[in-house]
Amino acid sequence: MKDGSKVTRVLNIYNEFKSGKVVYKPYEANKYRVDERTIQRDIEDIRDYLEIKNDDDSILNSIVYDRTIKGYYMEEEYKKNRQKLSNSELLAICKILLDSRAFVKDEMDSILNKLINCCLDESGQEIIKEMVANEKYHYIELQHKTRFLDTLWQIGQAINEQRYIEISYIRTKDKKLVNRKLRPSAIMFSDFYFYVVAFIDDKDVRKDFDVIDDAFPTIYRIDRIKGLSVLDEKFKVVYSSRFEEGEFRKRVQFMYGGRLKRIKFKYFGCSVESILDRLPTAKILAEEEGVYTISAEVFGNGIDMWLRSQGNLIEVINN
């Protein structure tokens, strides 16, 4: 090419990006009779220009490298839709996901890789991958080894559309497969497992409840659902009496259903903050010489397990 000035070269490469072409460094270097490092600097100059331009533009343009084709292209996004995670935010999310152990290994790997590749540039990707590599390598699946993401999504859609569901479920107490027709209300996660919170209308099933007219929901581990049908039949939820999972979550421990009750106990430990964090409804009633009297409002019998697990750190006053 006769005119080999940098300005002409950079403008021509920029126009190639704008027209949707893929830019290959070896090809451009040969075309302009420069080395690949020069083309790389040109691409970085274009990136710098786009960073400045994006501040005043409703569309974000960025230069992306695709390893599969070994070339660069321009990616456009509307600014309102582009809110990428920072390196620190993404690292925190990856750590939380790994610690949750919620998914089988290959699903966990896939989710982490998609998060990292979508949210970070090439250099950031390598840093985060290195920081989580050891935990990914030593990741241990839960014993159920069940893939349930499709089931999770179907339940979510049923909740959104207010449709009944029918499930085949392996019951915890005797491992028996039972069938249930449910009004699903919420999906929740706690201590390794996803749960669907639902109401049962069937009187034959409800007769076995501790409280026959129990108005509170039942809770099912989603990995134990072996069959699911979303029915055409709909239910109606009155807004004023809708199920509020945020309020329910404050009061349920270990995802055991049951009646709403108030407990009162003394705490002899050194970190009352851990108690208040574990029981969001907890209130300190009194404190004397480092011993706290605490009350909390909770659902079900799961709280009993937790109280026993605290040993001599807790003395139950009433439950």
For residue 248, pLDDT over 80 is answered with no
Distant-in-sequence, close-in-space partners of 228: CB < 8 Å, separation ≥ 6? 151, 154, 155, 165, 166, 167, 168
What confidence score (pLDDT) does residue 283 get? 94
Rounded to the nearest angstrom, the gap between the alpha carbon of residue 249 and the centroid of all alpha carbons in its chain is 16
Confidence bin at 52 (pLDDT 50/70/90):
confident
What confidence score (pLDDT) does residue 18 get? 86
Paired strand residues for 198: 184, 218
Distant-in-sequence, close-in-space partners of 5: CB < 8 Å, separation ≥ 6? none
Its pTM surpasses 0.75: no
Whether 220 and 183 have beta carbons less than 8 Å apart is answered as no
Tell me the per-residue pLDDT of 132-187, one tens digit each, with 9 for 90 and over: 999 999 999 999 999 999 999 999 999 999 999 999 999 888 889 999 999 999 99
pLDDT, the chain, mean = 84
What confidence score (pLDDT) does residue 214 get? 45
CB atoms inside a 10 Å sphere around CB 229: 13
Which of 56-65, 142-151, 175-184, 217-226 has the weakest average pLDDT? 56-65
- Amino acid letter at 252? V
Residue 274 phi/psi, 5-degree rounding, is -65, -30
Distant-in-sequence, close-in-space partners of 112: CB < 8 Å, separation ≥ 6? 94, 97, 98, 132, 136
Can you tell me which residue has the tokens 């709403």?
260
What confidence score (pLDDT) does residue 74 get? 86
Confidence bin at 83 (pLDDT 50/70/90):
low
In angstroms, rounded to a whole number, what is the distance separating the alpha carbons of residues 114 and 141? 19
Q: Is the dihedral of CA 195, 227, 203, 174 positive or negative?
A: negative
What confidence score (pLDDT) does residue 110 get? 93
What confidence score (pLDDT) does residue 1 get? 43
For residue 212, pLDDT over 50 is answered with no
Computed on alpha carbons and rounded to an integer, the radius of gyration of the chain in Å comes to 28
Whether 167 and 228 have beta carbons less than 8 Å apart is answered as yes
Percent of the chain with pLDDT over 70: 83
What confidence score (pLDDT) does residue 48 get? 85
Confidence bin at 88 (pLDDT 50/70/90):
confident
Tell me how long the chain is: 319
For residue 206, pLDDT over 60 is answered with no
For residue 210, pLDDT over 60 is answered with no
For the chain, give the secondary structure using H, E and C: CCCCCHHHHHHHHHHHHHCCCCECHHHHHHHHCCCHHHHHHHHHHHHHHHHHHHCCCCEEEEEEEECCCCEEEEEEEEHHHCCCCCHHHHHHHHHHHHHHCCCCHHHHHHHHHHHHHHHCCHHHHHHHHHHHHHHHHCCCCCCCCCCCHHHHHHHHHHHHHCEEEEEEEECCCCCCEEEEEEEEEEEEEECCEEEEEEEECCHHHHCCCCCCCCCCCEEEEHHHEEEEEEEEEECCCCHHHCCCHHHHHHHECCCCCCCEEEEEEEECCCCHHHHHHHCCCCEEEEEECCEEEEEEEEECCHHHHHHHHCHHHEEEEEC
What confidence score (pLDDT) does residue 217 get? 80
Confidence bin at 55 (pLDDT 50/70/90):
low
Rounded to the nearest angstrom, the gap between the alpha carbon of residue 76 and the centroid of all alpha carbons in its chain is 27
Which of 77-86, 123-132, 172-181 has the weakest average pLDDT? 77-86
Closest listed residue to residue 164, CA positions, set 136, 138, 179, 185 = 185
Higher pLDDT, 252 or 11: 11
